[in-house]
């Protein structure tokens, strides 16, 4: 596999996948580069949404497709924002800033700050692949009381890592890839690809 389409238009995810797949010589194209619209994500699970996105991108492009569905799950909010993480504060337009503000508002009186990022990666060799390669990863931390750091994207300025004493948004990209939910899922995916 020399080329695949990423079933996402998220520039942060694109940078991460290009970085992780470059050593394998796999060129990652975005669906936007190929004129493919974003797929609907009507499902309540990360796996179902990833499958819908990958099938759509592969069918439209004729290429293998890699989809990621990920989000942050907060214990005090019964797992929310979950699959709605990217559009938690609405999607007209989607906004990391507004999502973070909404999460901070909802957490203002919560003592339990536990949260985890979850990622599922799903690779289809073609649109009708009956056996997609599925890889999952989790990254545990806490929701901070205020934003800090300028790296990463999404909820990274709020994702406190007690073991490191830093926010996710304060990590260098290489360090983040080593420990993040997406990095963990990508290592599982790459291992499955090599087998």
Confidence at residue 19, expressed as pLDDT on a 0 to 100 scale: 79
The rounded percent of the chain whose pLDDT value lies above 90 is 76
Tens digit of pLDDT for each residue in 174-192? 899 899 998 999 999 988 8
Tens digit of pLDDT for each residue in 13-40? 788 788 778 888 889 999 999 999 989 8
pTM, two decimals, is 0.89
Domain containing residue 118: CATH number:
3.90.950.10
Provide the domain limits for residue 174.
3-194
Split into its structural domains, the chain has a count of 1
Please identify every residue annotated as catalytic: 69
Size of the chain in residues: 195
């Amino acid at each position: 596999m020399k080329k695949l389409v990423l079933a996402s238009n998220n520039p942060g995810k694109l940078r991460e996948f290009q970085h992780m797949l470059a050593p394998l010589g796999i060129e990652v194209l975005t669906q936007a580069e190929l004129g493919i619209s974003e797929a609907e994500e009507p499902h309540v699970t990360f796996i179902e949404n990833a499958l819908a996105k990958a099938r759509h991108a592969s069918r439209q492009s004729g290429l293998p497709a890699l989809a990621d569905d990920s989000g942050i799950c907060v214990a005090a909010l019964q797992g929310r924002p979950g699959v709605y993480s990217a559009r938690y504060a609405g999607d007209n337009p989607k906004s990391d800033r507004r999502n973070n503000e909404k999460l901070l508002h909802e957490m203002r009186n919560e003592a339990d700050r536990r949260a985890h990022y979850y990622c599922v990666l799903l690779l289809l060799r073609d649109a009708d692949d009956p056996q997609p390669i599925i890889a999952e990863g989790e990254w545990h931390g806490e929701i901070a009381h205020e934003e800090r750091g300028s790296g990463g994207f999404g909820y990274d300025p709020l994702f406190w890592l007690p073991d490191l004493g830093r926010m996710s948004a304060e990590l260098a990209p290489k360090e983040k890839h080593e420990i993040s939910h997406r990095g963990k899922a990508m290592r599982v995916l790459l291992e499955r690809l090599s087998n």
